[in-house]
Amino acid sequence: MSLNKDMHPRNPYKEKPPDFQALAIEFPEFRKYCRIGKNGKVNVDFQEDAAVRCLTKVLLKKDFGLNVELPDGSLVPRIPQKLNYCLIIEDFLNINNLCAENEKIIGIDIGTGASCVYSLLGAKYFGWKFVATEGDVMSAEVAHRNVSNNYLNEKILIAEVDPNAKTILMDMINKLGNDQNFTFCMCNPPFFETKETEERFTYEPSLDGEKYSNRVIFEERSQPHSITFASSAELQVEGGEINFVNRIIDDSIILRDRIKIYTSMLGRKQSIKPLKQRLEILGNDVKYYVTTLNQGKTQRWILAWTFVPEIVLTYMDRPANLICLKPGLIRIEEKMKELQSIVRRENNNILIFECRRITWKHRRAQKRAEAKLNLPNAKRSKLSSIEASSQTYLGTGDGKDSLSDSGNFVDVRRYSTSSAKFSDCEVQAYFPCSNYSNPNLRFRVSSSSIPGNNLEDLISIELLSGAKHNLNQLLQFLKNSLAS
Ligand SMILES: C[S@@+](CC[C@H](N)C(=O)[O-])C[C@H]1O[C@@H](n2cnc3c(N)ncnc32)[C@H](O)[C@@H]1O
């Protein structure tokens, strides 16, 4: 199923996919890969590497005025997807009002590859400057030629780096000097673990160097939708993409606001969780956001994080406001303590809240259950004692597995049996795990006075991490219980 309908809304290929017929008429080198199908339409064989390579080159030429060399056996960038990532970067710049002067924006393109595609598109289409790093000597040389051939030397600096160095960004940034800061970094890391390439790809001995493809030779699997050739450096790295991005996170902990917005693409959904957990551990200083890249038949993910408090990473992160009777911050603090939230004070007007469990949902059911459990002894003694068999389900984890999603909720059900004297009894209990340390939700609350209003405060609530829908529900709960 095509994901093109979910492409970035500003991606020109969303409404207007490449027109093979027009490209075949304009570019003879592409025409030789085109066939006219039974329906009269021009088709391209995506199983043929040379055809895929040529299509990317003519698209870059026609739509962006770029002449790009793509050496045999190296990755062929899929332009709609590459543009999607650049447009997400542009969204981050837009929402932070950083786009006003595009020529002042400097990005880092980590592992630019031979195509140098993000830097070329970023410089030509968006007007940004780049330092583009590359760990493979041959790819760095070709990237350099691609920059020169397109007269973009003023905008793109290729930095050849040691791929075995522990740091990915730090050495390169230190070499550039202390006064050089960056607006963002972007990266398409090698996805796979070193041993995985052999298992998943076909070795291509006819090509120079260690090259692989996704062609299926022996197995009974169907051929991939589109052929991909790549070098081992493009496909694999020790520890896979999780390790690679963790190394960028390591660098970011030291570099902090020298790069305003850190981003990386992720090729595997299962990489998101461990990387988010890693960022969570860094505490209140870091904000992160995950979004998707959709194009053709593939979905990818972008992880973005920042150490700059003023930077927002989504429109939804924009602080939500609440008007509350004075003293607003103290009222919120009391309410949040009732909801078992951990509170940290940033300064007199700002508090950070950390919620490990979602305690603001099903409040009525929770209260009713508590009331039942806390019946006065006089009432309890009136309850008839019965013989019961009992079944208990125990949940563990973050509370999401409890039926009510409401923390220490206990449900006891009694079922009649054929005998009036006996009943079956079922107990469902949720026990929070003490070693479960990742908070569900973290947010910053700040209070300010409203000019000319002595009764109320303006409360701003900003999501730091966790699901937006949980914060929205909490906000509604606070509005209902606190709003003046
Ligand atoms: C998946 S390819 C991405 C190429 C290109 N950016 C693209 O999106 O088509 C990953 C690239 O990262 C490079 N690389 C691997 N380790 C690196 C490191 N430590 N620093 C810089 N580049 C590295 C590889 O040589 C390869 O060119």
Q: Which atom of ligand 1 is nearest to the CA of 74?
A: 27
CATH of the domain at 346: 3.30.310.80
The answer to the question of residue 431 being in a domain is no
140 CA to centre of ligand 1 in angstroms: 10
Is the same domain home to 254 and 340?
no
21 CA to centre of ligand 1 in angstroms: 33
Q: Which atom of ligand 1 is nearest to the CA of 82?
A: 8
- The residue nearest atom 9 of ligand 1, judged by CA position, is 77
Hey, CA dihedral for 222, 223, 224, 230, is it positive or negative?
Answer: positive
pLDDT of residue 118: 98
Interface confidence (ipTM) of the complex: 0.99
The answer to the question of residue 257 being in a domain is yes
Of the residues 306, 339, 374, which one is the last residue of a structural domain? 306
pLDDT of residue 177: 84
Query: Using omega within 30 degrees of 0 as the cis cutoff, is the peptide bond preceding 327 cis?
Result: yes
The answer to the question of residue 54 being in a domain is no
Q: 0.95 exceeded by the pTM?
A: no
pLDDT of residue 200: 78
pLDDT of residue 267: 93
* CA pair distance 411, 199, nearest whole angstrom: 49
Region for 38 from its dihedrals, namely left if φ exceeds 0, alpha if ψ lies in -120 to 50, beta otherwise: alpha
pLDDT of residue 7: 85
Is the same domain home to 215 and 330?
no
- Lining ligand 1 with CB less than 6 A are 75, 77, 110-113, 115, 117-118, 133-136, 139, 161, 163, 168, 188, 190, 233-234, 237
pLDDT of residue 252: 96
- The reply, when asked if residue 111 is annotated as ligand binding, is yes
132 CA to centre of ligand 1 in angstroms: 10
| Residues of the chain falling short of pLDDT 70 | 1-4, 217-223, 315-318, 366, 369-370, 372-373, 375, 377-412, 425-439, 483-484
Question: What is the average pLDDT score of the chain?
Answer: 84
Is the same domain home to 254 and 345?
no
Is the same domain home to 271 and 325?
no
- The residue nearest atom 19 of ligand 1, judged by CA position, is 163
* CA pair distance 200, 216, nearest whole angstrom: 10
* CA pair distance 360, 482, nearest whole angstrom: 13
pLDDT of residue 315: 60
The answer to the question of residue 48 being in a domain is no
Range of the domain at 188: 4-14+66-306
The answer to the question of residue 384 being in a domain is no
110 CA to centre of ligand 1 in angstroms: 7
